[in-house]
Structure 1
Amino acid sequence: MQKQITSILKVLELAERLKFELRHSYTSSGRQESVAEHTWRMALMAVLIEPLLKQKVDTARLLKMIIIHDLVEAEATDISALDVLRNPEIRLNKVERERKAIENLRSALQDSNGDEIYELFYEFEEKETYESKVANALDKLEVQLQHNHADFLTWEELEYDMCYMMDKHVLFDTTLFELKTQIENQATEKMQLNGINTDVIKQRVLGEVR
């Protein structure tokens, strides 16, 4: 027991970095958000949306997956989706860094639930189970929701397009699709208020998707 608790405390010390590991997104107060803040609101979204999902979900597993999915960034650091879109080669580096980080976590917690955490991480990444699809959808939707809350001056042009790239993550569930639609509508309104022709953006993005 003593050895297990010691290992857990070391992982918690590592996880504390997520409180100051910054993401690309900004808060409505004007500062960059942390990974920990993103994860927390994803978990809250899961709790709030769970009763409305069309299929019964294992809530405990869903919440575990959400809490675990970005834990690797305490070691591997956060890499913006924008950077990956600009340079797809970065994705390979990201995958390798996260692989090493999750293996280190499994090793550090080998006397407790290291294997479970390892499996949850890859379940999220593979997006084959219902819980992992929900977690992935909430991950993408929380990002856009945070952009909607931020000052428009913090948006990059590439993010205009990304507002209309969320369909593929939510088509499996009508509730999540409705959540996506309302978040997308908020983004559209924000862009239009700032003089952006969203019809042109939609045509371009939807044309590329098709």
Structure 2
Amino acid sequence: MKETLQEVMQVIKLAEKLKYELRHSWLSNGRRESVAEHTWRLSLMAMLIEPLMEEKLDTAKLLKMIIIHDLVEAEATDVPAFDTLENEQVKALKQAREQEAIDHLRDMLPRELGQEIHSLWMEFEEKETLEAKTANALDKLEAQIQHNEASIDTWLPVEHGMSFMLGKHTDFHPVLKELKDMIEDEAEKKMMAAGIQTAVLKQGQ
């Protein structure tokens, strides 16, 4: 048991990096957000939104998937979505680094536990099951909520249009679509208050 706990402790210690690995997201008080903070609120969102969905989801799997998904960033670091939006080379490099990281995490842990974490991460990436699609949708929505809460001065021009690109992740489910519409409406109002014209941005999506 001691050897097993030592293996688990390696991953727990590695995960500490997520407390200081910063995302391209600012909080409402002007501080940058850590990966760990994003994962925490994403988990809370899943707990609050999942009961509103008529389908019976595997809640434990959903939460595990969310907690595990960004664990790879302890080694691969965070790559902003706009960096991979129209750059296949950066996207491929990000995927390769994350795959290497999840393979390493699997091998650090006792066999069954390591394989479970690896399988859950792969399921999230494949986005075929309801739990994986829901986790992915909430991941994107939490990021936009945080974006909306930050000062408009922190927004890059590319992020203006990205605020209206959430539908491809959410529109498979009416509850997630309605939540997406609310979040996009918040983004639009924030931009319009800052004098940013949104009509053209919305047409381009």
- Into which bin does the TM-score normalised by the smaller protein fall? over 0.9
**How many Å separate the matches in 1 of 2:195 and 2:72?**
39
Report how far residue 112 of structure 1 moved.
4.8
Aligned residue runs from structure 1 range 1-210, under 5 A: 1-205=1-205
Query: Alignment length, in residue pairs?
Result: 205
Percent identity between matched residues is 56
**After superposition, what is the alpha-carbon deviation per residue over 1:153-184, rounded to whole angstroms, capped at 9, x for unaligned?**
00011111111111111111111011101000
Per the normalisation by structure 2, the TM-score is 0.98
SS in 2 for 1:68: helix
**How many Å separate the matches in 2 of 1:71 and 1:152?**
29
| Structure 1 counterpart of 2:196, one-letter code | I
Segment drifting more, 80-89 vs 146-155:
80-89
Corresponding residue for residue 208 of structure 1: none
User: Does the 8 Å CA contact 1:17/1:74 hold for their aligned counterparts?
Assistant: yes
**How many Å separate the matches in 2 of 1:10 and 1:47?**
28
| Structure 1 counterpart of 2:35, one-letter code | V
Tell me the C-alpha RMSD between the 2 structures: 0.9
Report how far residue 204 of structure 1 moved.
2.1
SS in 1 for 2:33: strand
Structure 1 unmatched runs, 5+: 206-210
| Structure 2 counterpart of 1:119, one-letter code | S
Structure 2 unmatched runs, 5+: none
**How many Å separate the matches in 1 of 2:86 and 2:37?**
25
| Structure 1 counterpart of 2:28, one-letter code | S
Per the normalisation by structure 1, the TM-score is 0.95
